[in-house]
Chain A
Amino acid sequence: MATNSALLLDREFLKTLEQVTLLCRTNLAGAVGPEHRSRTRGPGMEFADYRRYSMGDDPRSLDWSAYLRLGKLFLKIYETEQHIPVRILLDRSESMDCESPGTAESKFLYAQRLAATFTYLALLHLDTAAVIPFADRLNKPLIVSGGRDRLWPVLEFLSGQSAGGGTNLFGSVKEFMGNFTSRGIVILISDFFDEQGCQRSVEMLRSAGHDFVLLQVHSAEEQRPTASGELILEDVETGAQRTVECSPQSTATYERRFLEFSSRLRRLALRNGGRYARAVTNIPYQEFVLKSLRSGQVLA
């Protein structure tokens, strides 16, 4: 479903995002840049600590004032400002665009907005961002860098995307690992409705050393269906059908199964050193980004 790019992010929201930083939890060696905060010590502008000089240290970092006062050589240690590539894997499978009755906007549009938000945050801090759509395989990515002015091509690119095809998370992640070898922040935005499961995909991201975030997007109807009576349900991706009797009891069972699925996904992310967030499309994406992701230390 093609979307008008003007609808993706509003101006006020973009202004608010200037005060927000994408938080990186992993020490990504070699990824050094001017504007990204990390816990790593190294060359930079922000003073962090002193340590005793030892052979082989860069003499340019010696504190000569301390030497004159104390007669000992001390080395100034600075906080490294990392240059971190941000990769956004955007699920564009058919299930992402499955319209639910009474839903304001589709999951895919919601996911597009989140992808645009993360890209903008990366561009704000002069990082390189890659937006990589996928469904049953990886699609052609868009790689942008060079500051906030580069957001427009991203919006154009996202607007040009349409949902279609089945979900092959493992295949797509495997292909991604082959194409993007350097470590970075990986934000996987999907409903994770892959029949093959997502355990292997997550483990693969962990083994490659990525700092990853699993962002589960779903509608309220997907969590608790409002339909009642006899239903003929059709899986939009596989075309499989199932006739069910929808009653309050069966809806409660359904919801419990859904929440268990989300719980397993969360445990999988945490067990593998990643982060997890769940977005329901009836909550405005601005509220989700500025409140939920900030409080969840995905953003700072």
Chain B
Amino acid sequence: MNWMTLSPLEVAAIWAGLGAAALWLYLHHRRPQRRKVSTLRFWASVQAVSQPRRRKVREPWALLAQVLFILLLLLALANPRWGITTEGRNVVILFDTSIWSQARPAGETPWIDRERAEALRVIDSLPAADHVLLLRAEADAPPILPFTTDHAALRRAISGVQSSSVPTDVPRALDMGRAALAGSRRGLLVYVGPGLLSDEQAHNLDAFRASLQTPVENGPQPQFLMRLVGNDASIDDRGITRLSLRRDAAQPNRWHLLTQLKNYSAAKSVVVLKLSIDGQTLGQHAVALDADELGNTENDFVWDKGGTLEAEIGPPDALDADNRAVVHLPAFRSIHVALFAAGGKSPFATNLLSVLSSNPYVDSEIVFPGMPLNGPPDVAIYQGTSLPENPAYNSIYFLTGPGPADSHPVRVTQWNPQHPVTRWVRTHDISVRNPATLTVSPGDTVLASTDDTPPQPLILAREENGHRLLIVGFDPHNSNFPMESAFPLLMAGGLEWMTHSVDEAADAVATGELDLPGPVNRIVAPSGKDVPFARNGASVHLLAQETGVYRVIAPGGVETSVAINTPLLPAQRVSATPAEMAGVEGEPRQAVGSDLWRWAVLLAMIVLWLEWWLYYSSRERQRTVETPEISGDASAQYLDGEMDETEESEYRKPNFVAR
């Protein structure tokens, strides 16, 4: 019996306590209600309760049934067993469905099929009573089939299991398999797969093997078997392990591509790397790789449109999955900046234009009064003494104070390091003359202030009518700010904040666990399946099992793409010891009884129904006994006569009037 870690005495005490509670409920009478009435004369004929009731159980059989019900319920929880049957041991099979299982060496069957055959052989060697759990040999060891003795179901599950593109983590999966076997008698843990691990995983596997030799408190260590498929000679694979793009600093439409290639085979080989964007070939060249070499190759190309860059290597080898990699190429568009000059030759506009021209991402123009705009600007820059009512564009205002130009200089301090505009500005050497008095509105962010007491705001960031404004409260000509390197940084930061940054890099992401910036409503895998994900603050966490371009759909239907590629694969092949390659050890079957808890619950339900029936039938009997008592009550003697039936029915009508 499983007494819920309670001794029989404790269980008996619980039963006694619950039985006492039931007895109390049976003895308990509801406190009578107090009520004021107009007269007691009509109540004289109703049975009076003249003295306090003696506490006695009115329905003893119902009480007995309830106590029996409690006993049966406790017995069901204790799960007693009856008779003797045999119970098999627990078995965990770790089925390696990682990316290496997709390998198909020339002239051989795919490794996944060989794994299936090995797993089925293990299943066939197990006694029918053994409970088998089927797990994937991956980091989080997702189950393929829970513990079952149904060998047909196990065969179906093994036949139906498909390879993923996730790298394996055999030691972690083994730990989880051992945890699943904990608490039972000696179980069986079987790994089926190619046995290709990283250096770290190989080290962890050695530690796992060592731990199997040490006894533990919560049961014996399981028997550990390995069923490896393939061999070292059969690994004939070259793969792309990384694609990295960098935009040229001086020429925004020029890209530098770094391609990392790995030769997993034991022989030197030459691969042809072919690059294309959205199907348009960029070029191809051969790359020679030594045995087990991880090499890099660089390519430059000019491309100002967005698209998907695809790198492909040939000739075909044992593993197709890592012969192709993609990366999403961000589009480029220069920022149009309009400098509104006050009139004539504006030194302000000319000087600022020289600053902006050094930025290759900016396309700037000076707009004189009356001159038409060359299209709506992304950012407008003004100089003046006051702000306009409704800004039409994202704008930068340089406001001059009303005082003389040679007024006492003030130092600019307290740069806001949190804001993207002033994130890179750290200088304390800037002083300005004749600053404007800026009014801070609700929602404004002060980016810099004077060192006065109290400090006066000098630079504000504001969002108004869907536009972003940067308000600089001094004339750059009345300060030493343009001489400092912080000035172009402030301008670049301001332009970036108003127009969002131009992506300067793009990297391919590897399969496995990923974090993507949110918010996200839906993620669709290259195969079209929805990928489950967890929200982690503003970002989302997911397990990418396929390679290719994932569609990430944000709230509002905004869709972006994420390219997922094959990572650097573990390539160290593990060797199984003779004990690990041995057959399944015979394990004596444990004699156990069959469960009786179901019968106890069934009986308890019957007894509960019996209790209700006994209770209510007893109450009904009592009522029928009470009725003749009432009719024979002598207190009705004062009445002067009984009504006949007609009279009574007439009297039941409200508002009766007789004349």
Contact = CB atoms under 8 A, between A and B. Distances in A.
Contacts of B651: 259, 262-263
Contacts, number: 165
A262 B656 contact: yes
Interface in A261-295: 261-264, 266, 269-270, 275-280, 282-283, 287-288, 291-293, 295
B658 A261 contact: no
Given A244-B46, A249-B623, A269 B38 contact: no
B285 interface: no
A163 B47 CA distance: 31
A228 B37 CA distance: 15
Given A230-B49, A253-B631, A283 B654 contact: yes
A296 interface: yes
Interface in B616-652: 623, 626-627, 630-631, 633, 636, 639-643, 647-648, 651-652
Interface string B29-41: 1101111111111
Given A233-B43, A242-B40, A260-B641, A279 B34 contact: no
Contacts of A238: 40
A236 B655 CA distance: 25
B657 interface: yes
Interface centre among A95, A245, A270 (most CB of B within 10 A): A245
Contact of B658 (A253, A269, A279, A288): A269
A292 B35 CA distance: 32
B41 A283 contact: no
Nearest to B29: A230
A240 B626 contact: no
B657 A256 contact: no
Contacts of A288: 655
A233 to B, nearest CB: 5
A20 interface: no
B46 A236 contact: no
Contacts of B647: 263
Given A231-B33, A232-B35, A233-B37, A254 B42 contact: yes
B210 interface: no
B55 interface: no
Contacts of B626: 245, 247, 249-250
A260 B642 CA distance: 7
A4 interface: no
Nearest to B39: A193
A17 interface: no
Contact of A234 (B36, B44, B636, B655): B36
Given A243-B49, A296-B659, A232 B623 contact: no
A260 B639 contact: yes
Contacts of B41: 193, 195, 257, 261
B276 interface: no
Contact of A296 (B37, B45, B636, B657): B657
Contacts of A270: 658-659
A76 to B, nearest CB: 33
B48 A257 contact: no
Given A230-B32, A253-B46, A296-B659, A235 B639 contact: no
Contacts of A269: 658
A98 interface: yes
Contacts of A248: 623
Nearest to B623: A247
Contacts of B49: 230, 243-245
A263 B650 CA distance: 10
B577 interface: no
A183 B651 CA distance: 31
A127 interface: no
B657 A293 contact: yes
Nearest to B630: A253
A236 B37 contact: yes
B657 A298 contact: yes
Contact of A231 (B35, B42, B643, B657): B35
Contacts of B654: 220, 278-280, 282-283
Contacts of A253: 45-46, 630-631, 633
A254 B646 CA distance: 18
Nearest to B47: A245
Nearest to A254: B42
A231 B42 CA distance: 14
B358 interface: no
A23 B92 CA distance: 102
Nearest to B40: A235
A268 B103 CA distance: 111
A230 B657 contact: no
A227 B35 contact: yes
Given A235-B40, A253-B46, A277 B658 contact: yes
A260 to B, nearest CB: 6
B658 A259 contact: no
B465 interface: no
Given A280-B654, A293-B657, A242 B43 contact: yes
B655 A95 contact: no
Contacts of A263: 643, 647-648, 651
A236 B36 contact: yes
B418 interface: no
B50 interface: yes
Contacts of B39: 95, 191, 193, 195, 235, 237
A92 B641 CA distance: 29
A62 interface: no
B40 A275 contact: no
Contacts of B42: 254, 257-258, 261
Q: 8 closest A-B pairs (Cβ-Cβ)?
A: A296-B657, A230-B32, A95-B38, A280-B654, A193-B39, A292-B655, A250-B46, A277-B657
13 contacts: A195-B41, A229-B33, A235-B38, A238-B40, A247-B626, A249-B630, A250-B46, A257-B41, A276-B657, A277-B656, A280-B654, A291-B655, A298-B657
Interface of B: 29-30, 32-50, 623, 626-627, 630-631, 633, 636, 639-643, 647-648, 651-652, 654-659
Given A233-B37, A277-B658, A298-B657, 15 more contacts: A99-B36, A191-B39, A227-B33, A231-B33, A231-B35, A234-B35, A247-B623, A247-B626, A253-B631, A253-B633, A254-B45, A257-B639, A262-B651, A278-B657, A298-B659
